[in-house]
A = this chain, B = another copy of it.
Amino acid sequence: MGDQGVVTAAAIIIGNEILSGRTRDANLPYIAERLAGWGIQLMEARVVPDIEDEIVGAVNALRAKFDYVLTSGGIGPTHDDITAASIAKAFDVPLDRHDEAVRRLQRHYERPEDLTEARLRMANVPRGGVLIDNPVSAAPGFQVENVFVLAGVPRIMQAMIDGLQGRMAGGRQMHAVSITCALPESILAPGLGEIQSDHPDVSIGSYPHFAAARSASRFGVSIVLRGLETTDVEAAADKVRDLMRSLGGTPEDRDLSTDKKAADHA
C-alpha cells in the first residue's frame, strides 16, 4: 500500500488477437470498473502478445511496481495458452499439476474420457499458486503472490474477478465528480489550470467531445475531478461550475456510468 492508503494495480491483457485488431478488448473496462469499486486504482495496462518472454517481462516489471497485477487470457487447453508456464517462469517456480484443479475438472467433465490431456493442461498451476474459482467452465484461474491470473473469455473473466472481492485489500475510495458543459475546453483552460494549482491533491481531467447528442453546440467538455478528500474534491468542483457559468456555460453534473456510455459512442 502506497502513500495515503492508495492501493494500486496493473492489468496485462495477453493475446495476439487484440494486437492484430481482430478482437476488440472487452476486459480492460470491466477490470478498471471493478477495481475502482473496491478502492484499487488501476495505474497501467499492457496488451502483450502470446510470447513467453513478453509475458514474463511485463509480469515482472509490473508486480514489482504495483500492489496487484491482474492478467487476462492464455489459460485454455491449446498450444497457444502459455500464461501458466510464463507466470511460473516469472516467479522461477515449477509448473505443477494442481490436485484440486484436477478434481474440479473431473467434476465438470463427468465422463473420464472427456477429461483429455489437453483439458488437464488447464490444471497446471505454478507451485504455490492459489486457485481462483471459475463458476462458468470449471477450469480455474490462480493467484501467485500479488499476481491474479484470469481467463480471457469475457464471461469467464468477469465471473472470476467478481469472485475475487475481498481477496484484494482495497484502499481508500476515490471521490469523483464529473461536470459537463457545451463550451470548447480551451476557453476553460486558464481557469482550470488555476483551480488545479489551488487543489494539488485533486486530479482534474478535461475531456473534450464533439456533437454531444443533447446539445446544439458542436463542442463540449467533461471535467472529471478525483481525489481522496471529498471536501477538497467538492470545493474544486464548485469552482469548476462557477468557472463554466462565468463563461456563459451551463454546468451539468453527469452520472459517470452515463458518461461512459456516451464516450463509447464518441
Which residues 27-58 of A sit at the B interface, judged by CB distance below 8 A? 28-29, 32-33, 35-36, 41-50, 54
Q: What sequence of 0s and 1s flags, for each residue 200-244 of chain A, a beta carbon within 8 Å of any chain B beta carbon?
A: 000111111110000000000000101000000000000000000
**Residue of B21, B209, B224 touching A29 (CB-CB under 8 A):** B21
Known: A116-B190, A119-B186, A224-B17. A23 touches B260 (CB 8 A): yes
Is A79 a contact partner of B193 (Cβ separation < 8 A)?
Answer: yes
- A188 at the binding interface (Cβ < 8 Å): yes
CA distance A44 to B53 in the complex (A): 13
In-complex Cβ contact of A26 among B46, B49, B264 (8 A): B264
Complex Cα distance, B20 from A206, in Å, reads: 14
- A18 CB to closest chain B CB (Å) equals 7
Contact of A24 among B18, B187, B260 (CB under 8 A): B260
Q: Which of B36, B80, B208 is close to A21, meaning CB atoms less than 8 Å apart?
A: B36
Query: Does A1 sit at the interface, judged by CB under 8 A?
Result: no
Q: Which of A42, A49, A79, A259 has the most CB of B within 10 A?
A: A79
Given A80-B205, A196-B79, are A32 and B20 neighbors across the interface (CB < 8 Å)? Answer: yes
- The verdict on A207 contacting B29 (CB below 8 Å), with A23-B260, A43-B49 known, is no
Q: How many residues of A contact B (CB 8 A)?
A: 70
A29: B residues at CB distance < 8 A: 21, 24-25
- The closest CB in chain B to the CB of A49 belongs to B43
Query: Do A28 and B18 have beta carbons less than 8 Å apart?
Result: yes
Does A21 lie within 8 Å of B45, measured CB to CB? Answer: no
Contacts of A77 in B (CB 8 A): 185-186, 189
Q: How far is the CA of A192 from the CA of B80 in the complex (A)?
A: 9
Cα distance A48–B44 when bound, in Å? Answer: 5
- Chain B CB within 8 A of A155 CB: yes
A169 within 8 A of B: no
- Asked if A186 meets B116 with Cβ closer than 8 Å, knowing A46-B46, A206-B76, the reply is yes
A to B CB contacts below 8 Å, 25 in the list:
A16-B224, A19-B43, A19-B45, A21-B33, A22-B259, A22-B263, A23-B260, A23-B263, A24-B29, A24-B263, A25-B28, A26-B264, A26-B266, A43-B54, A44-B46, A44-B47, A50-B203, A76-B185, A76-B206, A77-B185, A77-B186, A78-B186, A78-B188, A80-B204, A118-B190
Which A-B residue pairs are the 6 nearest by beta carbons?
A118-B189, A21-B32, A21-B33, A77-B186, A78-B206, A79-B193
